[in-house]
Amino acid sequence: MTELLEVEGLCAGYGAAPVLHDVDLRLAPGTITAVLGANGAGKTTLLRTLSGLLRPSAGRIDLTGRDLIGLPVERRVMLGVAHVPEGRGVIGELTVQENLRLGGLWRKGAGARRETDAAIAEVYDLFEPLARRRGYHGHQLSGGERQMLALGRALVARPKFLLLDEPSLGLAPVVAASIMALLRTLRDASGMAVLLVEQNVHSALAIADEGVVVSLGRVVARGKAADLQADEGLRHAYLGF
């Protein structure tokens, strides 16, 4: 299958402190890849580097054949990269509707408004609680609703490549499960590739097609999600169960 995203030899860090070392990654369209590892392994740094928030010191990032290195975050958004950061990034001072509209403001030209309106309508269909609270401010929403909003806002951009950082963090198990189930539905419906960072290894591997295990900034294992889950040695060494 033609890869949507190809990452080779990616190195990145904060100032003089390197975090990622020589990371390789390949994502096919319509797949979910779970990034697993302990706290401080470099999972969030990987996502920040892929979305452009962090400049890599070495390596290559290709999205559908286009080199992303050197492109600012804003340009990557236009190429189809969407990043839902840890903590969700819902802007509490803006309403639900404004948060969603923001997700489509990168579009330019005739028809941009219409396309964004259509995408917002789809998000409201997908997340009914948001439709009932479109005039509420972000800070008035529950944790689950905020996650829906963060995810919905990313979907308004109709991304090719979605980066999700800890989507279940702080959510009730039943809400987290519904968000995870929804990711599969979205993957099937949209064909986008999802890179999912998740502390809950079980639920991440349950919905993912592939998995990569990161330790101390290096990819130490990769494979089919089911195979990773079945690998007892790997589970004990890196995944803590």
161 to each of 4, 27, 63, 95, 224, how far by Cα in Å?
A: 8, 9, 9, 26, 19
Q: How far is the CB of 149 from other proteins (least distance, A)?
A: 12
Among 28, 38, 94, 182, binds other proteins (CB under 8 A): 94
Closer CB to other proteins, 106 or 136, in the complex? 106
Q: Is 98 in the site for other proteins (CB under 8 A)?
A: yes
Residues from 16 through 55 that contact other proteins (CB under 8 A) = 51, 53
The residue type at 5: L
Closer CB to other proteins, 97 or 215, in the complex? 97
Q: Which stretch binds other proteins (CB under 8 A): 56-64, 91-99, 187-195, 205-213?
A: 91-99
- Calpha distance 225→131 (Å, rounded): 34
- Calpha distance 238→25 (Å, rounded): 19
Residue with tokens 């929403």: 141
Q: How far is the CB of 230 from other proteins (least distance, A)?
A: 35
Q: Is 13 in the site for other proteins (CB under 8 A)?
A: no
Bridging pattern class, strands 58-63 and 5-14: antiparallel
Q: Which stretch binds other proteins (CB under 8 A): 14-22, 95-103, 169-177, 233-241?
A: 95-103
Q: Contact at 8 Å (CB) between 213 and 183?
A: no
Residues from 49 through 78 that contact other proteins (CB under 8 A) = 51, 53, 72-74, 77-78
Q: Is 102 in the site for other proteins (CB under 8 A)?
A: yes
Q: Is 85 in the site for other proteins (CB under 8 A)?
A: yes
Q: Is 160 in the site for other proteins (CB under 8 A)?
A: no
Q: Is 101 in the site for other proteins (CB under 8 A)?
A: yes
DSSP-derived secondary structure letter, 70? T
- Per residue in 49-86, is it b (16+ CB within 10 Å) or e — as a string? bbbbebebeebebbbeeeebeebeeeebbeebbbbbbe
The residue among 43, 32, 30 whose CA lies nearest residue 198 is: 43
Applying CB under 8 A, which residues contact other proteins? 51, 53, 72-74, 77-78, 82-83, 85, 89, 91-94, 98, 101-103, 105-106, 153, 157
